[in-house]
Structure 1
């Protein structure tokens, strides 16, 4: 009898008088051999059974022979060891993660750790899919007795694996991120749930092995995510104030942005610079030939902030548009951002008007000086506006301020007086006006020219002129000395009686002064 697991015995070849009875697992071989002559050897009786992994181990079989006519009898035992293979599988990723553009890969190792040969071996590995993923077998790092191919996206290694043998197969795929929109190919959007994580499970089976051991591994494809912002320091500034922009480049992705490059052609007309402490972050920033560049590697979550400024003058008024672009070698993204700032110039005017073109002596003379800045959204504030006005001098002239702001005053002695208005800022639409006056006298007749000037910190200087005249001064001449008259009748005296009173009155206007002549009483002789 022989029993072990699921062994199912049969006679091969059949043998007359022999039969096997009983259920599988408890079978008995019985032979009725009849009479056997002495010194005779009977033909060999051969029994056999297929084996399965459940039968692995030592199968022991004892046969007994007996006779009915004697005391002879015998038994013998034979053992056979059923050797079973022991399959094991291991799968490892080349790396936990890679940056897009790098190669991903897995190594699958199948081993027979058993004592028997594994036959009908089939290692099956449905490979993960994703944009830009194309798997191939790395023959340089593949070895073993199995035959490996990739068919319809599944890796198969088939054949037999002797005890102690190992099959190693290495598979790889490039990754990529190209294009945008409908043409985008991004390996970061493949794998499990389109997350960029590539899960992979391989299993192995054999026709003489129970079970299908499996092993899994995963590898992530990581992408950077580029962003850039540009913000002006101010929407507008007054001429003379600096303008500036802050550029921020950031990587919000899971992979480093390698070959990170910020490119910002700066607006012309002013002299740009990076102030001390104006650049923070891992990139190297500089301004060359009118272009700001920042280069290097930007780690996940990192940012580069750079502040650029330029001084301005009245000659720099206008709008300054600026656009910065951010790129990296491992990303097709090209984000950009723009902003603008304006330099506003003041539109100053200076006017000087006389109270009157001319006045009579004894009347007041005066001038009004007005500095104004035009209104409007494109007009800036005039900074540090100063008015200076050396006032005209003359006999009887002494200037004073009739009305005006508190920053205006008259300094200097009579005859060298100066109107001075200290620095003020004039916003768009604002003005500053001062009225100066002086009394005049009978000796003040003259023309009084006056020139005022204006300076500003952030605008060109200006000047304005006006004049006034004092007229009609009255000058009384001293009386003439008395003269001797002869009694003769003078010509045209009116008669010979000499008693005619002659009256001569002369009126002469000279240089704007009225001169009265003397009266003469003439007597006729």
Structure 2
């Protein structure tokens, strides 16, 4: 049929030709000749055959049949669609996507692979695949799914029943069955053809030889019934090959020999008055089966309405063409990071396979989802001393907790002190302008932060007075639960008492900058500003994360919680004492990190002013990185086809390279299709155009960047394409010479690799005329 010719030609156009370096004219001539030859020698498909032995019981009982399944050539147009199941997502929560991969044909697609380009600021939480046509689906949290094979949406099956039978004034039935695994699930019919081989003799017994001189009755009946019960009349006695149909009169005719009749809706003629071989249009169209399920038993009914001139049925063959929705699905769940900073999450997914894809424009799907931020902040307040002597000092601890799901930005705490209290200082992030105000740039989801606020009793406060108040928290991030944004009331009682007092003050210094593996020295000096002796003076230093204690002064001990406690003893008014701590900056600490160290001095003697008891010192971690970029690509590319560049970016250290960016300058004549990068864990992430923001790159870490472009179809063979790429970082580098790399290739003829040489030189003379 015309369909088969078209498939053969489609396969022919994808034949690969490998030749040596010949003249351009000869190359083109060979390519055209090879393509023409391919159209004649390409196999039509793969046929699976089986034979079922005839069952006993006589010629009119069902017997065996044979069949074959025909598949389209190895060309498959894959299409992918992606849909987020929610219009928006909150940072810190999860978003589910439904991904559908469809094979639009004409052939089967083997080795189907789905790649999710995970957007920066998100991660794969779960990914599963379902391919009803394959049992080998496999997905990984790196964002890849192997779907196995998606069969051709259009497939055909040919079934034959070779069991002979006889009808002499009677009918016989012969059947073939299309099993559930013969065609793709859910397939529906688009075309049915039927071929019948039979003989009309002048005897009532098909086993007797015919007398060519005798006449016979030509009335014959053929019906085809589908598994769904639809019956189509192929030939009926009152129409054709019958004695009285359509106004014709009965005429006895002579023996005509074996007949092979094919019934096809596309035929131009119907059967004539005498049984003869050929292709005919049936009385009723076979298109009546279109849209039905092909699976199940098909029945051919053959009959003869007069005795003593038997209809001898030799065999029949049924050809069914069906189409199916060949789809596989992938369910993807992305977790959006709590600190996601963008307004939208753009997620891209790609599909590829081992088959040739004639249309790659539908191999990529993108879903964009709006991202919101919500942070449920809570606040609690407690007091250090429940009773406070008049003129003494007390401390409030205010703890802010973020229950998420998103990070809270621009967090602010407000504590309006009652008139009975005077602000006495607080944590480094707190100020006073008539109210105590403390702030954080960001409070990650699931974390908490505490502020200390010192207060003194105002003059004139009576003993026994209960003094209490609350604090509130707010953020630039939307809070879905404002009910817990105000703390429960916390307070204490003022009491009359007479106690000695000593105003202690702490001054702390630190090394300003240090690199990973280098030391920081902290010096802590406690002063007693009087008026009384300070007893049991203690300095407590809370080391920042990312450092390890190397050395502590006399009387200093390290705790399991990262604190160092130095017991000073007594300190007279006007006296001072110092303690020195030495720490080592850990290797993983990122350059640019600010190591904030806070220490506090206390004593057993009441302190009338604690605002100066706390001091902090910061050390900035410096870094030095060494980036290198290696660019790879094919030696040749065909105009109109895709080209893939691979860029490997590495950091030789010794410290992390911050904010690494790779810029790829595509050559003129190449249009960007997609760009992505994968970390050492293999998780792919989308780039913004041909510029990829890789984030921070640790020492010894590598990132692979993949850039896919399409070569303009109008570029002439021999055109040289040079692609350049460079890597940049905010971290200083000792060597920038290896931060860039180029790749050069040549546009070639279809299927031909032309090496990058310059013909016409002494070493490479022009080829001779052919």
Larger C-alpha radius of gyration, 1 or 2? 1
Scaled by the length of structure 2, the TM-score of the pair is 0.23
Greater RCO, CA 8 A, separation 6+: 2
